[in-house]
Structure 1
Amino acid sequence: MPRTQRQPGEQTPPARRTPDVGPQRLAAPRTTVLRHVPGLAVCAVLAAAATGAGLVAPLVGAPVIGILIGTLWRVRLGISPVLLPGVARAKGFVLQLAVVLLGTQLSLTEIAQVGASSLPVMLGTLAACLGVAYLVGRRLRIGADLRTLIGVGTAICGASAIAAVSPVIKAKSNDIAYAVSTIFLFNVAAVLVFPPLGHALGMSQSDFGLFAGTAVNDTSSVVAAASSYGHEAADHAVVVKLVRSLMIIPICLALAALVRRREARTDPATAAGKVNPVRLVPWFLVGFLLTAAANTAGLLPQSTHAALAHTALFFITTALVGIGLSTDITELRRTGPRPVVLGLVLWATVAATSLLLQLAVG
């Protein structure tokens, strides 16, 4: 039957919508992934440069150099909106993945062999540092997140602890940058001051190893300080440091519970609901425990340890480059020198507590 001609003034009926097809539906996730590529690529390239510089200046280390490079990029060149999704992914997911890889360097067997004799010193320094961080930080009117990061970084394992805690408390990039910088400053001081102090006090190799393992923050600085004292001191310090790193687990769990409690106070719907303990455990902390257990069970060959350690360090450096790219220098200037003062107080507190507890327990 021939089609009837449309009369003048008659409106054309709306076109029938074509339903979405499979490839069109897949385009959105693919686009979402691709938009992270530019920022991640920039962070990775800058992290590679920081890694090379870290080999030349191992006392400074690639993570600190990475955050400095990222911050300088932000100051001199700014940051394009195209880079923002990838930068956010670097300082989020990549940072969490680095924490998982850190577990590959831990052995539960080695931890058991350290013995109960070192636990009083480790737990005592941890409690003293966190307590002083809370009291002095509040006295100095330092924000809760920043004083938490500086306290945990000083008490446990420097940048690695800050990397683990930051996503749990949802810390801002500026607070992370300031905390890492403060920790680095007193790492350098510890490497320079602690070995002469140990000789002046007549400390044995094992005593100084315990001192360095409990009073110095980042692993690289622990090795640097203890190695200058002696090979036996370095071996003992590294094992103590590994045990000390495990304190990340209860700290993260406690902070996750506190964050949940704080959010419940501001959101009545959350407060009314039941708290699921499983949801308090960050996924990357579970990954950290699984990789440590796999290493203990011998599932990770010894030949892979160095590569995994370097990969974890590169991921941390990549994340810190992203944090540097997100850092607002104006805000850091507004914060002033108070966080550095807190870092100095905590550094002195941890060192004094470690020495006093060693003296007390013999």
Structure 2
Amino acid sequence: MPTLPAKAAPAAASSNSSFFRSFHTPHLLWGRPITVGQGVFHLLLLACLTPWVTPPLALALGLVLAQTIGNPFVAQTKAFTPRLLQFSVVGLGFGMNAHAAVQAGQEGILLTVGSIFGTLVLGFFAGKWLGLGRHVVHLISCGTAICGGSAIAAIGPVLGAEDDALSVSLGTVFVLNAVALFAFPPIGHALHLSQQQFGLWCAIAIHDTSSVVGAAAAYGSQALEVATTVKLARALWIIPVAFGTAMVFKQKEAKITIPYFILGFIAAMVFNTYAPAYVPAAKALGPFMVRLAKAGLTLTLFFIGAGLSVSVVRSVGGRPYVLGMLLWLTVSIVSLCVICQAEHP
């Protein structure tokens, strides 16, 4: 195939090695320029749509891509990921029962409230001890306390945070999310946690909804139902925390972002619970939407992994990781102890 002038390679593949340059040299394929790196990306994308690639494996494939040849579509995946995650969450609602979800939400409400406020308070004092800026501390604390990157993206504009603070906070949370997705299911099996226990633990202790759902899905269907319900109820705390942030940081004209997609999840769950009794055809819609949602979640985790390049990980620095690890481990251990104690008083 004819070779076109080479474009600049991504940071992850900026080596002078001709091997890495070859991945980013465009060639004409059916009259259109395409690089080998773009071809690899599309092949991995298609693989993630097959039944053999699980959400954790999709994240791993994305991480490998990011650390080797780089993500050739960084801007596109970054913009598309939040929308795909929201669609996936709504789709999962078609596989859940409203009555069971309400019960799961009620069981997790006290632990949710306690962990949110405990994390914010601990983050404040730990951040001062580490000498980090107030904005970075508050963003990492909110990301750990509520729902990871979604909380950071919502609280950042309210806080008036600069891009550097947002990047550091998001990088910290995304790296810990990747660790949690792989670590939690084996820990759950080793401790012989029930489906209910593991789902609740995931929702409390893992930052992002994508990793919560991925870890819970790997553990079992009941764990997935509990984890998704409790996590989305937890995500609604973005609103009061955002208002509190505006008052504490004296941001009078701040715009509060409301996670409306949660309403879509509730509507899908109500439809799945009541519609089949009146519309028999609705029974077939639920499983179809859940399959689409799980495929969307797998792609979401692939995109997230593909965005975690070496440069992103290194740009965070040491102290934000220390803060993130301290908060994450504290929430994980304390919530696990509370959950196990409640099951075996």
The TM-score, its normalising length taken from structure 2, stands at 0.62
Whole-Å separation in 2 of the counterparts to 1:347 and 1:177: 17
Structure 2 counterpart of 1:342, one-letter code: G
Larger radius of gyration: 1
> Which of residues 103, 106, 113 in structure 1 aligns to 2:90?
103
Alignment equivalent of 1:177, drawn from 162, 171, 174: 171
CA contact (8 A) 1:174 1:327 kept: no
Q: Deviations over 1:216-266 (max 9, x none)?
A: 562332344xx4xxxxxx44432321222213532332454467668975x
Partner of 1:16: none
Aligned position for 1:222: 216
Taking a change above 3 Å as real, the CA distance of residues 49 and 296 of structure 1, as seen in their structure-2 partners, is: same
Q: CA RMSD in A?
A: 4.4
Q: Distance in 2 between matches of 1:132 and 1:204?
A: 29
Equivalent of residue 58 in structure 2, options 62, 80, 90: 62
Which of 294, 314, 317 lines up with 1:309 in the alignment? Answer: 294
Distance 1:56 1:311, change over 3 A: closer
Q: Which of 129, 134, 137 is residue 124 of structure 2 equivalent to?
A: 134
Offset, 1:184? 2.4
Contact 1:94/1:315 (8 A) holds in 2: yes
Q: Match of 1:46?
A: 41
Task: Measure, in 2, the Cα distance between the counterparts of 1:51 and 1:258.
Answer: 43
Quick one: which amino acid aligns to residue 59 of structure 2?
P
Deviates more, 1:122-131 or 1:204-213: 204-213
1-structure distance, mates of 2:206, 2:81 = 26
Is contact 2:112-2:204 (8 Å) kept?
A: yes
Partner of 1:353: 335
Equivalent-residue separation in structure 2 for 1:53 and 1:297 (angstroms): 29
SS in 1 for 2:131: coil
Mind listing any 5+ residue stretches in structure 1 that lack a counterpart? 1-37, 228-233, 266-270
CA shift in 2, pair 1:244/1:139, >3 Å: farther
The separation in 1 between residues aligned to 2:43 and 2:141, in whole angstroms, is 29
Residue of structure 1 equivalent to 2:270: 296
Note closer, same or farther for the CA distance 1:205–1:290 as it changes in structure 2 (3 Å cut): closer
Structure 1 residue corresponding to 2:315, chosen from 331, 341, 356: 331
Structure 2 counterpart of 1:318: 303
Identity of aligned residues (%): 16
Contact 1:129 1:349 in 2 (8 A): yes
Aligned position for 1:197? 191
- CA shift at 1:210, angstroms? 4.3
Distance across 2 between alignment mates of 1:173 and 1:237: 32
1:351 and 1:148 mapped to 2: Cα distance? 21
2:140–2:173 CA contact under 8 A, matched in 1: yes
> Partners of 1:61 and 1:212 in 2: how far apart?
18
- Write the deviation string for residues 28-81 of structure 1: whole angstroms up to 9, x where unpaired: xxxxxxxxxx99xx889637526747977747442354255235445xxxx9xx
Matched residue SS, 1:297: helix
Q: Which residue of 1 aligns with 2:110?
A: 120
Say how many residue pairs are matched: 285
